[in-house]
Amino acid sequence: MSMSSAIVPEVLLDKNYENWKVWLKSYLLGQGLWDIVDGSDANPVGAGLNAWRKNNGKALHAIQISCGSDMLTHIREIESAKDAWDRLASVHAHASGARKGFLEAELRACKQGTYTISEYARKVKDICDQLEAIGARKDNDTRVAIISENLRPEFDAMRVIVQKNKRTMEEAVSLFLQEEALLERHKLESNNEVKDMSNEAFFSTAHGSFRNRGRSRMRDDHIDTVSTKEQDDGDKKADNNEEALCVIMGQVNTADNQ
């Protein structure tokens, strides 16, 4: 934030000259010192010299204390209020010419990209405001055209509506914000539909897996049951064979004794 002085709301920096000169001129007019600064009251010779020097000193002091430290370096050695005023105007003209070219190029290259509508509109407004501060004003229609033409393709439909019907910058941004909210809602709904379909496919697959696993378990239980039955039958056959062998051996022993 710019520092203020007792004379102007903001001291002179490299970006606020247009506002600064209006504030300071109003002050100098009110103090009866503007004629010294604009050259109407030139440096006299003779009786009026002391009065002029006094007023020149007051005007020069007002200019000096209304400058930031960087701007003050340009007028530090100057003793005439008019010369100091003219020097600051010249510095501003030189700096603003270079700055204007830079800002114009930045504005032409400004695109929405990954910015939200709010972020993008704020960026465009900031650049336009900086241009206006150095005397290169961008009117409403120009600002609307800039923000409309460099939006992402999904805003094409709303762009046509905005360009067809003249809108203020605020109205255009409001419409684009509504379109952005609508697009976000559709995107969210689509994502939810995809997620629901994925969940449905997952549970369907899982259900089939559990069902097949149940069938497999039933088959395994059946095999186990069959295997146990066969083992029991085998054990019974073995016992019967053993009993038959004992009977035969008993008969053989009886025959031998006789």
Of 157, 184, 211, the position where a domain reaches its end is 184
The three-point CA angle 150-153-157 to 5° equals 100
Task: Report d(CA 215, CA 257) in Å as an integer.
Answer: 64
| Residue 51 or residue 99, greater confidence | 51
Domains held by the chain: number: 2
Q: Residue 136 domain-assigned?
A: yes
Task: Report d(CA 176, CA 152) in Å as an integer.
Answer: 11
Q: Residue 216 domain-assigned?
A: no
State residue 248's pLDDT score.
Answer: 46
Strand, coil or helix: 195? helix
Q: Residue 143 domain-assigned?
A: yes
Range of the domain at 121: 113-184
Q: Indicate whether 77 and 52 sit together in one domain.
A: yes
Query: What would the pLDDT profile of 99-136 be if each residue is shown by its tens digit?
Result: 888 999 999 999 999 999 999 999 999 999 988 877 78
With beta carbons less than 8 A apart as the criterion, state whether 59 and 81 touch: yes
Q: Residue 123 domain-assigned?
A: yes
Of 135, 157, 184, the position where a domain reaches its end is 184
State residue 42's pLDDT score.
Answer: 79
Of 184, 206, 228, the position where a domain reaches its end is 184
Taking CA atoms, 212 is separated from 109, 122, 142, 217, in Å, by 62, 60, 69, 8
Q: Indicate whether 89 and 161 sit together in one domain.
A: no
Q: Residue 200 domain-assigned?
A: no
Q: Which of 140, 117, 111, 116 is nearest to 128 (CA)?
A: 140
| Residue 14 or residue 229, greater confidence | 14
Q: Residue 229 domain-assigned?
A: no
H or E element that contains 212: helix 169-257
Percent with pLDDT over 70 in the chain? 73
Query: What would the pLDDT profile of 201-216 be if each residue is shown by its tens digit?
Result: 666 666 665 555 555 5
Q: Indicate whether 91 and 157 sit together in one domain.
A: no
Q: Indicate whether 134 and 180 sit together in one domain.
A: yes
193 pLDDT more than 60: yes
Task: Report d(CA 124, CA 144) in Å as an integer.
Answer: 10
State residue 209's pLDDT score.
Answer: 55
Q: Indicate whether 83 and 138 sit together in one domain.
A: no
pTM attached to this predicted model: 0.52
